C-alpha cells in the first residue's frame, strides 16, 4: 500500500472578491503523516477540496501516485436528518458498494465492513442508527468508510472533533498504523498537542504558508508561540 507524494506549487484560490489561498507551496512526503493547521477561515478546507479536485484553483497540485491510487476521505461532518432510518451498516454499504443498499450486501463485503468497524471500536454499533451515534462515534464511522477499499492516500478534515479520549486513541493508532504501512496522510488538525505527537510534518496556513517543517522544529520557533497562544501552556504542562 504505497501512498503518493504530493506537491503543492503556487496554489491560489479566489472566490468572488475574496482571496482564500495565495501562493501556497509545500510538499507532502509519501508514507508520512502531514498535518495542516491554521486559524479558522484560513483556507485549510479549501486547500483540501482543491487537492480532491472539488475547487477550481491556480497553480499546480501534483500527486505522484505509486501502486494504489485510491483516496480515502473523512469529512468534518455529515449533514443529515438524524431521524432518517440509516444504520451504521447501511451507511458503510452505501459508501462502499454499488448494489442498492436495501437489497443487502455480499458476505465478503459485510465481513470487510465488520472488521473495519471492530478495529475502530464500533463492533457493537453496527446496527445502531447513524443518527443515534455520538459525534465521536460518527467520526469513527467516517474513518472506517474511508479505509474501504484500502486507500493509498487518506485525507482527513478535523476528524478528532468531538472525540472522547478512547476514541482519540483509536483514531491515532489507526492513522499511525496506516502511515507505517506506507500510506500517505493529509490531516487538517486543530489539536496542536496531537500534531506534535504524531505528525511527521506540519504546515501552518493562513491564506499563505506561514510555517512548514518538522513539528519539533516548527513548534520551537518564536513564530509558533505567536500563532498558537496556548502552546506555551501546553509545553509547560508537559514539562
Partner 1 sequence: MEALYDIPRQFIIGLAETGKIHYTFSYAFVVNGFLCAFVIGPLLGGIGTMVVAKRMAFFSQAVGNAALTGVAIGVIIGESYTAPYLSMFSFCLLFGLVLNFARNRTKMSSDTLIGVFLSISLAIGATALLWVSAKVNTHILDTVMFGSILTVNDTDMNVLLVTALLAAVTALPLYNQMLLASLNPSLAHVRGVRVNLLEYVFVLLLTILTVACVKIVGAVLVEALLLIPAAAARNLNRSIRGFVLWSIVFSTVSCLVGIYAPMRWDLPVPSGGAIILTAAAIFLVSMVVRMLLPRYREASF
Binding residues for partner 1 (CB under 8 A): 49, 52-54, 71-73, 75, 77-87, 89-91, 93-95, 97-104, 127, 129, 131-132, 142, 145, 155
Strand partners for 148: none
Pairing of strands 184-188, 58-64: unpaired
CB of 141 to partner 1, least distance (A): 11
Cβ nearer to partner 1, comparing 81 with 165: 81
CB of 239 to partner 1, least distance (A): 40
Q: Grid coordinates representing 173?
A: 493508532
Cβ nearer to partner 1, comparing 102 with 237: 102
Q: Grid coordinates representing 63?
A: 500527486
Cβ nearer to partner 1, comparing 101 with 170: 101
**What are the backbone angles phi and psi of residue 88, rounded to the nearest 5°?**
-60, -45
CB of 133 to partner 1, least distance (A): 9
Q: Grid coordinates representing 65?
A: 501516485
CA distance linking residue 9 with residue 124, whole number of Å: 45
CB of 204 to partner 1, least distance (A): 23
Sign of CA dihedral 153, 26, 191, 158: negative
Cβ nearer to partner 1, comparing 15 with 220: 15
Amino acid at each position: 500500500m504505497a501512498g503518493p507524494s504530493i506537491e503543492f506549487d503556487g496554489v491560489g484560490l479566489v472566490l468572488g472578491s475574496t482571496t482564500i489561498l495565495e501562493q501556497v507551496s509545500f510538499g507532502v512526503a509519501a508514507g508520512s503523516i502531514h498535518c495542516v493547521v491554521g486559524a479558522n477561515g484560513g483556507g485549510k478546507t479549501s486547500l483540501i477540496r482543491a487537492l480532491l479536485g472539488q475547487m477550481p484553483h491556480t497553480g499546480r497540485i501534483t500527486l505522484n501516485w505509486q501502486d494504489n491510487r485510491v483516496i480515502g476521505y473523512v469529512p468534518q461532518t455529515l449533514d443529515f436528518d438524524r431521524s432518517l432510518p440509516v444504520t451504521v451498516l447501511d451507511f458503510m454499504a452505501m459508501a462502499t458498494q454499488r448494489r442498492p443498499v436495501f437489497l443487502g450486501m455480499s458476505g465478503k463485503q459485510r465481513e470487510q465492513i465488520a472488521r473495519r468497524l471492530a478495529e475502530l471500536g464500533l463492533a457493537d454499533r453496527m446496527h445502531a442508527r447513524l443518527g443515534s451515534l455520538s459525534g465521536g462515534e460518527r467520526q469513527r464511522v467516517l474513518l472506517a468508510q474511508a479505509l474501504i477499499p484500502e486507500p493509498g492516500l487518506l485525507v482527513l478534515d478535523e476528524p478528532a472533533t468531538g472525540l472522547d479520549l478512547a476514541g482519540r486513541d483509536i483514531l491515532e493508532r489507526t492513522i499511525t498504523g496506516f502511515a507505517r504501512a506506507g500510506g500517505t496522510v493529509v490531516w487538517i488538525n486543530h489539536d496542536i498537542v496531537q500534531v506534535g505527537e504524531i505528525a511527521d510534518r506540519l504546515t501552518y496556513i493562513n491564506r499563505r504558508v506561514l510555517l512548514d517543517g518538522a513539528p519539533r522544529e516548527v513548534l520551537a520557533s518564536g513564530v509558533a508561540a505567536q500563532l498558537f497562544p496556548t502552546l506555551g501552556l501546553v509545553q509547560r504542562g508537559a514539562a
